[in-house]
Each structure stands twice: as structure tokens, then as C-alpha cells.
Amino acid sequence: ETVQVDLGARSYAIHIGEGLLSDAGDYIGPMLSRPRVAILTDETVAGTHLAAFEAGLAAEGIETAALALPAGEATKGWEQFSRAVEWLLEQRVERRDVVVALGGGVIGDLAGFAAAVLRRGVRFVQVPTTLLAQVDSSVGGKTGINAPQGKNLIGAFHQPSLVLADIDALATLPARDFLAGYGEVVKYGLLGDADFFHWLEDNGQALARGDTAARIHAVRRSCEMKAAIVARDETEQGDRALLNLGHTFCHALERATGYSDRLLHGEGVAIGCALAFELSSRLELCPQEDPSRVRAHLAAMGMKTDLADIPGDLPPAEALYDLMGQDKKVMDGQIRFVLARGIGRAFVTADAPREKVVALLDEALSAR
Ligand code: NAD
Ligand code: ZN
């Protein structure tokens, strides 16, 4: 299956399917001006999928060199970034060459940013191996690293030239990481496609158990939605903010838990979506039954649905609210929320009264 991202001269294809790692040479070969690619990956993925990917390239006569960085979010900083850029220079990657990101969102973001600045920009290919990366981070051209001052504060818009999402790669993904990625999948249904959300209610279990057809469908539909929104608003002047459904709450919770194991990003997104629907219902924007329907689906999938599901201490409601205010999405001191008129009908607003949000958080905290 193929999804096209329409961005004029920067358009590209997302291929979604089985066996794409082994067939990578067929897709990447035609792009190359000489049969050589440099691959950035992490140590975990190097152990599970690098050999198959390099064999797929070798089958088409493409030489490879690979650098495996440590796995984990801590890699997304200056230290590993400069290591990666200098390695690419040592490999004599030139303007006409192609850099490949093989891994999850950490590798995709870092490698994409490296490609954006190397020799003022070289092409790169995303080969996402986590569900989160397949449905979200590999598409749309946001690249970058974290600063000591905050997440994703250093970066560039640099679209990939190709995305290869191999569903088979997900077979080795730990269940917790899979479900975290699923949080972003649910987000797409909730923000813009009620039919897709209903499909997920019916097929989510099969998808989690490993049903290939269901996984392909979910990744394809997610990519279609992200591609359409990015095509309308590449640099987030407007509509792209819809993709932040659940994220204002999520970012506050991630800050409160120190970006630790206590809460994975996608888990925070799922909780954030449930809270956004609860808030929408209290503001009488969406039907009263919607928040429980959202929560019921997340719970049926075995996911965290509420603040009560986050282990350890959390700050009080007022403090959590202030953590939301540190978001990039704040304009003129007003926190912008993505709220909904119903399932599949999200919109962006700065009109959520502070006291309503604090009250909601306070109740959620006291249920802990
Ligand atoms: P990740 O890259 O750290 O991957 C999660 C873990 O899974 C890692 O330990 C990794 O080694 C391992 N892994 C990867 N593929 C595997 C596989 N097939 N089998 C077994 N293990 C595998 O994290 P992630 O969740 O993929 O991505 C999170 C990052 O993405 C964050 O840094 C976030 O800021 C970024 N992100 C970026 C965008 C964007 O638009 N650029 C969007 C969302 C998130
Ligand atoms: Zn996200």
C-alpha cells in the first residue's frame, strides 16, 4: 500500500506492507546517484533488523555503512548528534547521497536533523521500526533533538524523500511500546475520522495480537490522515495543530514524570485524549457519552486511561496546569487546547477556562 504526501517539489511516497526491509533495494536503488547509503540506527534495532535491511540493499548491489547509537531518548541530544554528523562526514556522504534512518522516532528525528544540516541538506529515507514512528514521527518532516532546556527545541523541517514502513518489523517490538504507538493511532480516529475510531473499536484487539492486515490498515489510515493535514499546513500555522489532540495534557504529564519510564509518550497521548474529551463534554461541546466511549476503548486495549494509572507522585492540579503553559502551543499567554465537538470532530481553541481545566485535573488526581 502506498500513501502519497503532496508537498509540491518535496512530495514523497510512504510504502506500507510486509517484507519491505528485504525489498529495500528495489525502493531505494532508483533514488541513488551511486550505489551506497549510510545508515543511522540504534543498538537494539541493529540487533534485530539491520542485517535483513542491509541484505535487502546488497541484493541490489548497494553498499552500506551503519552507525548504531545507544537506544533510548537520551540519544536525542547534542552528543550523539555530533557523533552522527561527524561519522556521516567520515563516510564521505555527499550532497547527492542518501542517509537512512532505521529505527524508532529517536533515530528518525536525529537522523533527519543530521540530514537537514549535513552539507546544507542531503536527502534521507525513513525506515520506521516502531508503531509510533510508522504512524507519526517518520511522516511530516519535523526533525530535531532535545536541549537541556526542553524536548525537541533544536530542529528543522526537512521532509524525507521516501518512507518504508515494514509491518513485519513490529513483531519484535515490546507490547508496551506497541500500545504506546497505538495511542497515536486512536488519536487520528478521535481527531478526524469517527469511522476509523469505530473500526479500531472492532479491530483493535486483532491488531494488538499481530494481525497483519489490520496493522497495515491502521498504519495506512493514520499516515493518510497525517499526510493530508501536513499537506494543508506543513509548518504548523493552523490545521497541523489538530495533530496535538491529547498532547497539551500529555506534555504536562511527561514533564511531571521527568520523561521517565513512568509514562511513555504515547501513553500520555491516550490519557490526554481521554482528558480532552472529558473537558469537551464538561464544556458542553461534545455528547456526554463520548468521554466514556474513548476511555472504554483504551481500557479494553489494556492501556492507561487516567491519571490514576500513572505510578508515583504527581504535582497538584494548579502545578500541572502551569506545566501545560510551558508548551510551544501557547500563544499570548493563553493555552491552546485541541477539543472536540464529537468523536472525529476536533478543533483548536484558546477558550478553555482555566478553572474548568484545573477542576478536571483536581478530580482526576483525587481519584488516585
Ligand atoms: P524510540 O525510537 O526510542 O523507540 C522505542 C524503543 O523501541 C527503543 O528502545 C528502540 O530501540 C526500540 N525499538 C525500535 N524498533 C524496534 C523493533 N522493531 N523491535 C524492538 N525494539 C525496537 O521511540 P519511539 O517511541 O519510536 O519515538 C519517540 C520519539 O519520537 C520521541 O523522541 C518523540 O519526540 C519523537 N516524535 C517525533 C515526531 C515527529 O513528528 N518528528 C512525532 C512524534 C514523536
Ligand atoms: Zn505524539
Clarify whether residues 193 and 132 are in a common domain.
no
Q: Domain residues for 265?
A: 175-366
Q: Which bound ligand lies closest to the C-alpha atom of 126?
A: 1
For 190-223, what is each residue's pLDDT tens digit? 999 999 999 999 999 999 999 999 999 999 999 9
Closest to 103 in 3D by CA, of 68, 77, 74: 68
Clarify whether residues 63 and 164 are in a common domain.
yes
**What mean pLDDT is predicted for residues 12-16?**
98
Ligand 1 pocket by Cβ (under 6 Å): 42, 44-45, 48-49, 71-73, 76, 103-107, 109, 129-130, 132-133, 136-137, 140, 142, 152, 169, 172-173, 177, 265
| Encoded amino acid at 75, one letter | T
- Which ligand 1 atom is nearest residue 76's CA? 32
- HSE-CB at 76 with a 13 A cutoff on CA atoms is 24
pTM, two decimal places: 0.96
Which residue puts its alpha carbon closest to atom 20 of ligand 1?
173
Question: Quick one: pLDDT at residue 91?
Answer: 98
CA of 151 to the centre of ligand 1 (A): 14
Clarify whether residues 212 and 322 are in a common domain.
yes
Q: Which of 148, 172, 196 represents a domain boundary (last residue)?
A: 172
Tell me the best of 48, 106, 164 to mutate to test the pocket of ligand 1, counting ligand atoms within 8 Å of each CB and taking the most.
106
For 255-304, what is each residue's pLDDT tens digit? 999 999 999 999 999 999 999 999 999 999 999 999 999 999 999 999 99
CA of 133 to the centre of ligand 1 (A): 6
Clarify whether residues 188 and 79 are in a common domain.
no
Active site residues: 120, 142, 184, 226, 236, 240, 244, 247, 251, 265
For 28-55, what is each residue's pLDDT tens digit? 999 999 999 999 999 999 999 999 999 9
Clarify whether residues 270 and 354 are in a common domain.
yes
CA of 205 to the centre of ligand 1 (A): 22
Q: What is the Cα gyration radius of the chain?
A: 20
Question: Quick one: pLDDT at residue 320?
Answer: 96
Tell me the best of 73, 109, 263 to mutate to test the pocket of ligand 1, counting ligand atoms within 8 Å of each CB and taking the most.
109
- Which ligand 1 atom is nearest residue 151's CA? 34
Q: Which bound ligand lies closest to the C-alpha atom of 176?
A: 1
Sheet holding 2-5, edge to edge: 2-5, 12-17, 162-166, 123-128, 98-103, 36-42, 63-69
**What ipTM goes with this model?**
0.99
Asked if residue 331 has pLDDT above 60, the reply is: no
Q: Which of 119, 152, 172 represents a domain boundary (last residue)?
A: 172
Give percent of the chain with pLDDT exceeding 70.
98
CB burial of residue 211 (10 Å; 0-12, 13-18, 19+)? middle
CA of 244 to the centre of ligand 2 (A): 7
Q: Which bound ligand lies closest to the C-alpha atom of 139?
A: 1
Question: Quick one: pLDDT at residue 82?
Answer: 98
Question: Quick one: pLDDT at residue 368?
Answer: 80
Question: Quick one: pLDDT at residue 343?
Answer: 98
Q: How confident is the model at residue 253 (pLDDT cuts 50, 70, 90)?
A: very high
Q: Which of 127, 147, 172 represents a domain boundary (last residue)?
A: 172
For 62-83, what is each residue's pLDDT tens digit? 999 999 999 999 999 999 999 9
Clarify whether residues 149 and 207 are in a common domain.
no
Q: Is 265 annotated as a binding residue?
A: yes
Clarify whether residues 261 and 233 are in a common domain.
yes
Clarify whether residues 186 and 89 are in a common domain.
no
For 123-166, what is each residue's pLDDT tens digit? 999 999 999 999 999 999 999 999 998 899 999 999 999 999 99
